[in-house]
Structure 1
Amino acid sequence: MVQLCGLLTLQRKPVPLKSISVSVSIYEFVAGVSATLNYENEEEVPLEAIFVFPMDEDSAVYSFEALVDGTKIVAELQDKMKARTNYKNAISQGHQAFLLEEDSSSRDVFSCNVGNLQPGSKAAVTLKYVQELPLETDGALRFVLPAVLNPRYKFSGSPVDSCLDVKTPIVPVEDLPYTLSMVATIDSQHGIEKVQSNCPLSPTEYLGEDKTSAQVSLAAGHKFDRDVELLIYYSEVHTPRVVLEMGMPNVKPGHLMGDPTAMVSFYPNIPEDQTSNTCGEFIFLMDRSGSMQSPMNSQDRSQLRIQAAKETLILLLKSLPIGCHFNIYGFGSSYEACFPESVKYTQQTMEEALGRVKLMQADLGGTEILAPLQDIYRRPSIPGHPLQLFVFTDGEVTDTFSVIKEVGINRQKHRCFSFGIGEGASTSLIKGIARASGGTSEFITGKDRMQSKALRTLKHSLQPVVENVSLSWHLPPHLSAEMLSPEQTVIFRGQRLIIYAQLTGKMPAAETTGEVRLKYTLQGKTFEDKVTFPLQPKPDANLPIHRLAAKSLLQTKDMGLRETPASDKKDALNLSLESGVISSFTAFIAINKELNKPVQGPLTHRNIPRPIVLGASAPLKLRCKAAVPMALGSYSTPAFQPIMEAVSVEDDIAYDTCDIDDFSFCGVTTYKDHHSPGSVENHLVQLIYHQNANGSWDLNEDLAKVLGMSLKEITAAHPAELVDSSGWATILAVIWLHGNGKDFKCEWELLERKAVAWMRVYAGCTMPLIVKAAITFLKSSVDPAIFTY
């Protein structure tokens, strides 16, 4: 755990890491990245420098090399234990050595050791990796260069050999002694519409008239205060594609790296079912650790993570269908449940839950998610109500593989939908638990609204299950496809599907084509997508498709040094060594044997500092982490003991309390954009909060404030002969949503649908007359047809 002594404000020794330069090459859905760490020893003694840094867990790291004073040293991928031994031996013998390894507890943290860097010597250490780019709802491809590594909460049972155990100095962003530069080249045969970023970029430079190639670069002076994110918009992004890549020429056929490998991309056009399921057990697992008190990002006026999560939870509760069951857990070093067991969704239970949400704070200490998960899984399932688990966390834990394993063991009884909140959330945890259960994962950073992503996911969980998913290949004789990706059992509407396959056998000499078809059944109807592609594999020296296929396989077998079953360890190790893609069981080791200078005593160690991004200016203070008083139906982990300690950034960031503009209607802080004081957004949150569980609204002062009218005016216009006050209020609320909240439709669509369904049953044949009266009263141009579905 990082103690107060790890917080440095002044650097008394030169830091050997001077800069990080990154080159990104994006072609369609695949990004190839080359990152170079530039070191220089300005001291008079030889050094060993250790740098710990983040990386997206989907990255397939396949190359590591060093250029030392003009001499190039290429690393070899070895068994991790062997590599560590060889590194230590090389250093002790006076050689120069470099070690790159994945953290033992998480796939998204790496460490780089530079050993025996001589006085005055310079070293450029380069690592290369490839990764798939996820597709956002608006059609953007999202590339993220992780720059923020949050401290990971460590508890008594945490692994002891994590690279995060290194007492890495932490400094404020403005004092960080090294810089970051990045250049990205983007290519797409369908054309590039635009490139956006959360960081200042140079103007986009198109390299051709047809806009199929573009280049952007990070503006000078970037600080490590946020991950670097690119949103890339292509002209056609939903078209099915097959990329066929030639294998290595010196590898025998029949091996993964020797045969051609195909990357198949589908975007199934699954029809939306307007009559969403009303069954289901929805459990919301909310991170209430101290780090949730951090802002969403480093920008001014950024909303606190816990407040954004509370608003989102309220919206989800309001959007649940009548007839389902639900519960809410809050977790930190201990955990609490809103109800002793999941309850039926009614007006009473919804109001009780909202009262609990109103009081939620980031006050439960560290981040221990395993215990509440185990508690949820131990409970008996509710017949006819499949479990849907929603996890909201900033993901700063050290037992990542244990958590993913627990979710995977219980994958038959539930689906897990995970949300990474704020900069630096663990991609390994967030993506891992979703993948292990057939769910989906989302990351909310920058200006993203958590609400829209959470509601989209809720819509997924309410849709009927897609069944009988199958993939079939139609290839020439003597050629077959062997699946490398895990069998797909779940497809969600609006989700891209990527599959890898190895083509074995004899490739046709003449130009010919192959075909791959995706079939699935939805509510008894069969759907089929297909794509035809030329059987002419393209050569690529970096073999990105092969590396990604190997990474996809590794993610199914490699669950960390301690959690991987013995039956899979050998397969994972062999696959890693064969493909050259790093894993939990391997590490890159490079030794410069030309440098053979006797070491005079132990090397001087220099741990490269990391930035403290969130709460850097907030004073740390002592607090007693005594057991939190438990409410009814709450539980605490046995290992949770009262202890007096310095509050550290990964445990419980301590902020001086300040007055935050608070909408007192529910105790939830709503973020007001300073450009437009957020009237629409805040009125929307108010309207949502006051909706009843059955979808209706009551006619009262709260509704009048949203409509911008007096209650007297609204009551006077009420056609009492057609409908009572609740029906009148509900019609007015729905019209207001369509007339004023169009930009947030994805957030209120489910609760609006619930309201319209209630009105159709409640008003019957008088509905058209009520709607006409309401539109006339509000002087609205909303189409009355919104009430017809």
Structure 2
Amino acid sequence: MVNCCGLVSEKNEPVPLKSISVELQIKDHVASVCSSLQYLNEEDRPLEAVFVFPLPAEAAVCHFSAKIGDQEIVAEVQEKQSARDQYDDAVSSGQQAFLLEESEESSDVFRLSVGCLSPGQNASITIIYVIELSVQADEALRFCLPAVLNPRYKPAASPAGVPEVSSTSVIPYTLSLSVEVISSDRISRLLSSCPLEPLQYLDKQHCHATVNLSAGHRFDKDVELFVYYENSHQPTAVVEAGSSVAQSGSLMADPALMISLYPEFPASVMSSLASRGEFVFVVDRSGSMDCKMHHGNDAQMRIESARDTLLLLLKSLPMGCYFNIYGFGSHFESFFPQSVVYSEDTMEEALKRVKSMNADMGGTEILRPLKHIYSQPCYPDHPRQIFIFTDGEVWNTKEVLDLVKAHVYSHRCFSFGIGEGASTALITGMAREGSGHAQFITGTDRMQPKVMQSLRFALQPAVDNISVDWAVPKGMKVDMLSPPINTLFQGQRALIYAQIKGRSSEKKEGAVTVKYRLKDQPVTNQLQFTLEPTEDTGMTIHRLAARSVIRSLEMEERAEGADTENIRSRVVELSVQARISSVHTAFIAVNKDSKQTVKGALLQRRVPVQHMMASMHGGGRRMCGMAAPMLMQCSARSARAPRMDINYAIPMRACMMQSNSMRIESDSDEAEPQKDPLLQLVSLQKAEGFWELNASLAAVFGKTEDEVTNQKAAQVDGSVWATVLALIWLNTYKSDQQDEWQFVAMKAASWIRSQKRDGLSQCVCDGNALFGCQVTEDTLGI
């Protein structure tokens, strides 16, 4: 086994990838990303290399080119097999060729083949893609440049032959990143997970700004950017003119429309969240969950953060619902044979088992536990909500997504990608196909507030009977390109792509109306927009719309009884037309003018890609991630010898799981107390929502039991007093973490109101005196 990183030769030489530079342009909610990768062949022979690297699953790759010396070769989009054959022919004849392919297993992984790079020769590869920016809990728009691709786990029944890797290496290349933000809304700030130079505003309105990543950044972790606009929840419509050279009547020739809607539900419906439901929490317990959440000294292990999050979730559930918890790895197990009614007893039993959860279940195989969950009958009037937590990758991403989609009418799926490198295709795909919501927890993010936001979505009543109606001038029509909307959440963006056909001499204005039912109540949201095209959009909206259509067709192709040949033909036609990637096409570039050829007979053979499975059954070592772009295999060729394939070790994060025999764990039910006072307080709350007056509660407040008890009025019940104190303490000392404790506080306030006790006003007054604060009854919700 060769222990080194990146591109290696048969002599185990350093990688020729020297640097990566990225130019990012953000226009409102859409980003265009131009990445340039600089390569150098330091071998004394021509070289071919295959790199595998991650891109966001939602990205539409729309340009690929290679520059060798002063000559630039721009790639064409072709049917995939045709492109592969052309690449093989070119490389075998000594021509320089480049092939960019989307993985057939997962849409967030691409393979780049660099063929026939002469000794000492430089090559600059440019890849451009466009993508919609996701909206975060704090209303920021998030862009992520992935640097890490986690190990993709293959089930035991899959073909073997994947090597174990037990070495780590320093990433030898740097990243430069420049960012330009152009918005119709005022830019309030821009944050990043990596050091940035100061933000420079280019206009007085603060609608145009630039910023650069600090020099010398080592590209060993994801780069995240968060853009904040003053009115990020403002519904918008963008009309983009069609291409004058595209075929008449095609998607690329007609104007394209992108609608961003933010549904606003009636206050009467939102005032009381749903109290019924079945909540199934599915937690990754593979070896890599023993890695740290981030690189800081105070970082928790991922499994520890998951345990804390489960505590918060279990305490936040409403009485009368059903719940269950699954752990999965190479196998899976559930806390209960089937979901049970939420009560004090079942909650306490679950919490005991949560405390003993470890990252000790091997690989990452998510399909089997999902099949088991879907095989369980649903409870009438208790809609199923599945929460899935994972930090890894699976090879059968598309099979998982097909399964989730097949059961979309019986559940909603909320997915969470933990740590850098979690598959965007898997996480966003499960949420999309399961009518839920996706979250990524990276860097120093806390898992709890993001999970609580998704719980708020899950507790919202399900929207049904959704329809979209268009009003445009006579002579025009709108064809919706996005798949039918099957879910809406309060305050969360819904994107709609459409094609505008025809012409009209009337006023250039249109409107879109979204109608739906919410708890048997009809709701209507409408947006009026101009039909005048936006200037200088670079066909971005068309390509995102085409990507949306292609993804829908790819899902349709995998459905039982689908006309696969016809669908594949439509995908290829649209992919070539729009010049964007798909699973059935590839970008191919051949330098036919190159005079530097390799003479002699060469063996024509496609380079096999050795995929990583850094996981061992039965407690072997498991790596947490790998830096990218990554070479999966490289080949050196000469005129005298056939192609030689050289295996190598992918660079991994220095984070390994010790074998089970080396792990020291306590089997006792007694667990170390939570260090976080908030989690200490939450852990003491009863399922019905109240707290008991005891020394443990007083310790959270920083008081003795006598200090807390002596302040209580004689006629006040101890549990009411304790619960009022807990609410005052939360609002006083943890107001900045309200997203995390809002549901435990709602349960507590509801319980207090149900007691119908006198003297609450005096109780609140005495509590304020104890803590030296001034919190009102209205603030506490009692």
The answer (yes or no) to whether the contact 1:170–1:609 under 8 Å persists in 2 is no
Q: Is the 8 A contact 1:561 1:584 kept in 2?
A: no
Query: Equivalent of 1:343, from 340, 351, 363?
Result: 340
Alignment of 1:346-745 (within 5 A): 346-506=343-503, 508=504, 512-538=508-534, 540=536, 542-559=538-555, 565-567=562-564, 568-595=567-594, 597-600=597-600, 624-625=618-619, 653-655=656-658, 666-667=671-672, 682-723=676-717, 725-745=718-738
> What residue number does 1:631 align with?
none
1:152–1:650: 8 Å Cα contact kept in structure 2? no
- For residues 647 and 23 of structure 1, what CA distance do their matches in structure 2 show? 27
* Conserved? CA contact 1:202–1:218, under 8 Å: yes
Name which of 259, 262, 271 aligns with 1:264.
259
Q: Show CA shifts across 1:362-396 (max 9, x none).
A: 00000000000000011111112111000000132
Distance in 1, matches of 2:496 and 2:530, equals 17
Structure-1-length-normalised TM-score:
0.88
Determine if the alignment matches structure 1 residue 241 to structure 2 residue 244. no
Give matches, 1:163-178, under 5 Å: 172=168, 175-178=170-173
Q: How many angstroms apart in 1 are the aligned matches of 2:130 and 2:495?
A: 15
Shift, 1:182, TM fit: 1.1
Per-residue CA shift, 1:310-330, capped at 9, x if unaligned?
100110000000000000000
Residues 5-45 of structure 1, C-alpha deviation per residue, up to 9 Å, x if partnerless? 56799994142222111111111011011111112222221
Instruction: Tell me the SS of whatever aligns to 2:217.
Output: coil
Deviation string 1:217-251 (CA, Å, 9 cap, x unpaired) is: 11122122211111111122111111100111122
Partners of 2:552 and 2:732 lie apart in 1 by: 48
Residue type of the alignment partner of 1:684:
L
How many angstroms apart in 1 are the aligned matches of 2:61 and 2:284?
Answer: 31
Partner of 1:330: helix, strand, or coil? strand
- 2:45 is matched with which residue? 45
The SS at the match of 1:87 is helix
Q: Report matched runs for 1:225-374 at 5 Å.
A: 225-271=220-266, 273-374=270-371
2:211 paired with 1:212: no
Separation in structure 2 between the aligned mates of residue 668 and residue 306 of structure 1, nearest angstrom? 16
Distance 1:92 1:465 in 2: 58
Task: Give the 3-state SS of the residue equivalent to 1:514 in structure 2.
Answer: strand
Superposition TM-score, scaled by structure 2 size:
0.88
CA-based RMSD of the aligned residues comes to 3.2
**1:260/1:59 CA distance change after superposition, 3 Å:** same
1-side partners of 2:606 and 2:49: how far apart?
5
Unaligned 5+ segments in structure 2 are 621-648
Which of 508-517 and 94-103 deviates more? 508-517
1:617 aligned partner: none
**Offset of residue 600 of structure 1:** 4.2
- Give me the whole-angstrom Cα distance separating, in 2, the residues matched to 1:767 and 1:136: 38
Residue type at the aligned position of 1:69: G
Secondary structure, counterpart of 1:558 in structure 2: helix
Secondary structure at the residue paired with 1:576? helix
SS of aligned partner of 1:520: strand
**Matching of residue 758 in structure 1 with residue 751 in structure 2:** yes
CA contact under 8 A between 1:9 and 1:171: conserved in structure 2?
no
Distance 1:135 1:665, change over 3 A: farther
In the alignment, is the contact (CA less than 8 A) between 1:99 and 1:587 conserved in 2? yes
Deviations 1:316-365 (A, max 9, x none): 00000000000000000011100111110010000000000000000000
| Equivalent-residue separation in structure 1 for 2:507 and 2:446 (angstroms) | 49
Percent identity between matched residues is: 43
Letter in 1 for 2:254: D
Whether the 8 Å contact between 1:290 and 1:651 is mirrored in structure 2 is no
> How far does residue 511 in structure 1 lie from its aligned partner after superposition?
6.0
Letter in 1 for 2:478: A
* Counterpart-to-counterpart distance in 2, 1:176 and 1:608: 24
Contact 1:7-1:171 at 8 Å conserved across structures = no
Residues 333 and 38 of structure 1, relative CA distance in 2, 3 Å threshold: same
Preserved CA contact (<8 Å) 2:673 2:680:
no
The change in CA–CA distance for 1:541 and 1:528 in structure 2 (over 3 A counts) is closer
2:168·2:654 contact (CA, 8 Å) conserved in 1? no
**Change in CA separation of 1:623 and 1:512 when aligned onto 2, cut-off 3 Å:** closer
Contact (CA 8 Å) 1:46, 1:603: kept in 2 or not? no
Q: Read off the aligned partner of 2:583 and give its amino acid letter.
A: S
Take 2:210 and 2:771, find their aligned partners in 1: how far apart are those partners?
Answer: 50
CA deviation after TM superposition for structure 1 residue 298, in Å: 2.5
Q: Distance in 2 between matches of 1:493 and 1:102?
A: 34
- Provide the rounded CA distance (Å) in 2 between the counterparts of 1:110 and 1:158: 21
Give aligned pairs, total: 740
* Matched AA of 2:222: D
Checking the alignment, whether the CA contact within 8 Å between 1:281 and 1:386 is kept in structure 2 is: yes
Aligned 8 A contact 2:88 2:605 in 1: no
Asked if 2 retains the 8 angstrom alpha-carbon contact of 1:92 and 1:599, the reply is: no
Amino acid at match of 2:680: Q
Q: Give me the whole-angstrom Cα distance separating, in 1, the residues matched to 2:608 and 2:370.
A: 36
Q: Letter of the aligned partner of 2:763 in structure 1?
A: I
Question: Could you tell me how far 1:773 is from its partner in structure 2?
Answer: 3.4
Say if 1:108 and 1:465 are closer, same or farther in 2 by CA, change over 3 A.
same
Q: Does 1:62 align with 2:62?
A: yes
Contact 1:561 1:585 in 2 (8 A): no
Distance in 2 separating the partners of 1:654 and 1:151: 14
Counterparts of residues 31-110 of structure 1 (less than 5 Å) = 31-110=31-110
The CA deviation at 1:779 is 3.2
Shift of 1:572: 2.7
The CA deviation at 1:268 is 1.9
Give, in whole Å, the separation in 2 of the partners of 1:7 and 1:67: 25
Match of 1:783 among 760, 776, 781: 776
Identify if the C-alpha distance between structure 1 residues 401 and 609 changes in structure 2 by more than 3 Å, giving closer, same or farther: closer
1:146 aligns with 2:142: no
CA deviation after TM superposition for structure 1 residue 140, in Å = 1.2
- Which secondary structure state, in structure 2, belongs to the residue aligned with residue 186 of structure 1? strand
**CA distance 1:624–1:287, shift in 2 (3 Å):** closer
d(CA) in 2 for partners of 1:8, 1:67: 21
Which residue identity is paired with 1:20?
I
Query: Is 1:747 the equivalent of 2:740?
Result: yes
Distance in structure 1 (CA, Å) of the matches to 2:590 and 2:412? 46
- Evaluate the alpha carbon distance shift between residue 669 and residue 714 of structure 1 in structure 2; reply closer, same or farther with a 3 A threshold: closer
- My pick for the range that moved more, 439-448 or 596-605, is 596-605
What code does the residue aligned with 2:459 have?
L
Could you tell me how far apart the structure 2 residues matched to 1:61 and 1:107 are?
Answer: 11
> Structure 2 CA distance, aligned partners of 1:572 and 1:377?
31
> Given the alignment of the two structures, is residue 155 of structure 1 paired with residue 158 of structure 2, yes or no?
no
Aligned partners of 1:304, 1:109: CA distance in 2, in Å?
26
Letter in 2 for 1:291: S
Cα 1:562/1:331, change in 2 over 3 Å: same
Change (3 A) 1:505 1:78: same
Match of 2:624 in 1: none
Segment drifting more, 682-691 vs 378-387: 378-387
- Which has the higher mean CA deviation after the structures are superposed, 283-292 or 700-709? 700-709
Aligned to 2:185: 190
Post-superposition offset of 1:621: 12
Query: 1:171 & 1:208 partners in 2: Cα distance?
Result: 50
- Residue identity opposite 1:654 in structure 2: M
The structural deviation recorded for 1:517 is: 2.5
